[in-house]
């Protein structure tokens, strides 16, 4: 039977109490059953309303949504649109830092361990200090990553900035109120972007320094994964705390972790203050 059908749905009972039975070779796919259940529930509700004789006007009045608005009492508080934009930047920043630390941090640790296992270190140690070697490695790998991100950003900027006909969008000389609001939003985005870039650089240097230190503790490249394991767990923990703090930046866990250097980040995008956040 299942050679012809992927799944079968049986509906029995009455409109007041319908009974649906979903049968398939495997029920590990939960999306389709949930969609079918929702559709059957909607159809049953429509049939019950028709049988009750209630007019469509009454139903529309009952289902009329309420008007709900948000307003902050603080004069320096940001609007809901600005907060949504700030959350978007923080969300992107979190994942950029997360993948950067995992990728470039492991690269730095591997490079340090590789130099220790070769005769290159014997030549370098006589001409430069260990601190200069460490920061040189961090800056070198960091510039490589920054170059990659710059290329990706420029390509995305040009792609989304181009029109459908391949030309850049034209800006009219008469700037009205709507255009002025767009300019204000653009400046706000630039402020957030610059702030995100600063904290991205600070977060990179913090974790890159830790990765270089962990890489110097091993002498074989095979042991790098074990050495940077605690740092990777720290980054994952910071990411989880960050995702929770996005929905509730005033939570106790956000306040407590704000005093830990590895979880210190910027809550400015939500409140206008310089202080705490996570993953930087």
CB 124 within 8 A of CB 115: yes
The predicted structure's pLDDT at residue 221: 82
pTM for the structure as a whole: 0.60
Q: Is 280 exposed, middle or buried (0-12, 13-18, 19+ CB in 10 A)?
A: buried
The predicted structure's pLDDT at residue 80: 67
pLDDT tens track of the chain, all 280 residues? 556 777 888 888 887 788 888 888 777 767 788 888 889 888 888 888 888 887 778 878 877 888 877 776 666 666 667 677 767 777 777 788 888 888 888 888 888 888 777 776 677 777 778 778 788 888 888 888 888 888 988 888 788 765 444 444 444 444 444 444 544 454 456 776 777 778 778 888 888 888 888 888 887 888 888 888 888 888 888 888 878 877 777 778 877 877 777 775 544 444 443 333 444 4
| DSSP class of 162 | S
What DSSP string runs through 15-58? Answer: SSSEEEEEE-S-----HHHHHHHHHHHHHHHHHHHHHHT--HHH
Packing angle, helices 177-215 and 229-247, rounded to 10: 160
Q: In sequence order, which residues have a C-beta less than 8 Å from that of residue 102 and are 6 or more positions away?
A: 232, 235
| DSSP class of 11 | E
Give the angle subtended at the CA of 17 by the CAs of 11 and 21, to the nearest 5°.
30
CB 32 within 8 A of CB 7: yes
The predicted structure's pLDDT at residue 208: 87
Return the residue matching tokens 């490695």: 137
Which two three-digit tokens encode residue 61? Answer: 């009045």
Return the residue matching tokens 């402020």: 191
CB 23 within 8 A of CB 8: yes
The predicted structure's pLDDT at residue 273: 38
CB 113 within 8 A of CB 221: yes
Query: What residues pair up with 21 in beta bridges, in sequence order?
Result: 10
**Can you tell me the distance from the alpha carbon of 236 to that of 245, in angstroms, rounded to the nearest whole number?**
14
CB 228 within 8 A of CB 121: no
Return the residue matching tokens 């956000």: 254
The predicted structure's pLDDT at residue 78: 64
């Amino acid at each position: 039977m299942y050679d012809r059908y992927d799944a079968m749905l049986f509906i029995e009972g009455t409109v007041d109490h319908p009974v649906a039975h979903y049968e398939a070779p495997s029920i590990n796919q939960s999306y389709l059953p949930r969609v079918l259940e929702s559709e059957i529930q909607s159809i049953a509700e429509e049939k019950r309303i028709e049988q009750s004789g209630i007019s469509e006007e009454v139903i529309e009045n009952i289902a009329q949504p309420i008007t709900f608005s948000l307003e902050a009492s603080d004069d320096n508080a940001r609007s809901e649109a600005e907060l949504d934009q700030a959350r978007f930047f923080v969300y992107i920043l979190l994942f950029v830092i997360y993948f950067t630390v995992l990728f470039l941090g492991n690269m730095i640790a591997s490079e340090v361990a590789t130099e220790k296992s070769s005769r290159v270190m014997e030549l370098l140690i006589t001409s430069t200090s260990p601190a200069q070697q460490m920061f040189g490695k961090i800056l070198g790998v960091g510039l490589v990553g920054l170059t990659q991100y710059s290329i990706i950003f420029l390509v995305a900027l040009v792609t989304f900035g181009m029109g459908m006909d391949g030309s850049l969008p034209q800006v009219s000389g008469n700037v009205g109120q709507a255009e002025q609001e767009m300019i204000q939003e653009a400046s706000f985005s630039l402020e957030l972007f610059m702030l995100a870039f600063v904290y991205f650089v600070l977060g990179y240097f913090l974790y890159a320094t830790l990765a270089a230190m962990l890489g110097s503790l091993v002498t074989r490249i095979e042991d790098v994964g074990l050495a940077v394991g605690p740092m990777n767990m720290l980054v994952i923990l910071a990411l989880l705390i960050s995702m929770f703090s996005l929905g509730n930046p005033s939570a106790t866990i956000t306040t407590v972790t704000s005093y830990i250097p590895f979880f210190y980040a910027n809550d400015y995008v939500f409140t206008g203050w310089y202080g705490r956040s996570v993953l930087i």
